[in-house]
Amino acid sequence: MVSSHPHIDSDNIPSHIAVIMDGNGRWAQRQGIKRIFGHQNAIEAVRDVTEGCAELNVKYLSLFAFSTENWNRPKLEVDGLMTLLVKTIKDELSTLQENNIRLKAIGQLDNLPLGTQKSLDQAIERTRINNGMELVLALDYSGKWDLLQAVNQIKETSGTISASSIDAALSTAGMPDPELLIRTSGEMRISNFMLWQLAYTELYFSEVLWPDFRKKDLHEAILSYQQRERRFGKTSEQVSI
């Protein structure tokens, strides 16, 4: 499927979009409700953006769903997030199948509750043969952890550390680096997400809180991306040749 958006260049779509989904708690506070309800209302944003990326033929969509630092939040909120994650995976599995989307998870997955791990493993296995867009959930993920585990893995095998060997040992091995990173809620930082992989990623910061983020906001981010010149250290003249 290709989007019918009149201004988006279908020949210049990022193959990998990463999203830091921020603002759930503030959204809930503005509504005068508990923070967990902000996370519940964020599911529609996940569904809308996933569908929007699939329509645009994005190959990889990575969502920063739960950082290693998030374990420091109140236990009630963390427990609620894990319960919500299990429910969402089960509820959305049929949609993933219908849209030929393959699910993947990265991070320190062994630290997740056993019930969460089981639901995640089942969904990954059931979508394994799908060959459309890959939806990547970063759970108990940290960019510093990813780099450290990659280096330790290399030392245990060949001992030769290089840019290419790190690429091959990261949890994102086999995936292209994100070309576009979207962060919602107006915060302007990458918060320990894919530190190595974001070296040349275009950054887009939206004022919209994540539960309110929709396809139109995704389209705005992609239009901003398409207006930029990606030089990778070269001059404009070299890129235009």
192 in the Ramachandran plot: left (φ > 0), alpha (ψ -120 to 50) or beta?
Answer: left
Provide the 8-state DSSP code for 60.
E
Q: What residue type is 1 in one-letter code?
A: M
Please say if 22 is a catalytic residue.
yes
> Rounded to the nearest 10 degrees, how much is the dihedral formed by the CA atoms of 240, 201, 208, 80?
160
CA distances to 42, 99, 229, 238 from 233, in Å: 37, 38, 11, 10
Question: In terms of Cα–Cα distance, which of 215, 193, 206 is closest to 63?
Answer: 193
Which two tokens mark 15?
A: 């193959």
Q: Which of 22, 140, 146, 217 is catalytic?
A: 22
Contact yes or no for 145/110 (Cβ under 8 A): no
Type of residue at 25: G
Instruction: Burial-class residue 133 by CB neighbours within 10 Å (0-12, 13-18, 19+).
Output: buried
Which amino acid, 77? E
Cα 212 from Cα 45, distance rounded (Å): 7
User: Of the residues 48, 57, 70, 212, which is catalytic?
Assistant: 70
Q: Which residues are known catalytic residues?
A: 22, 70
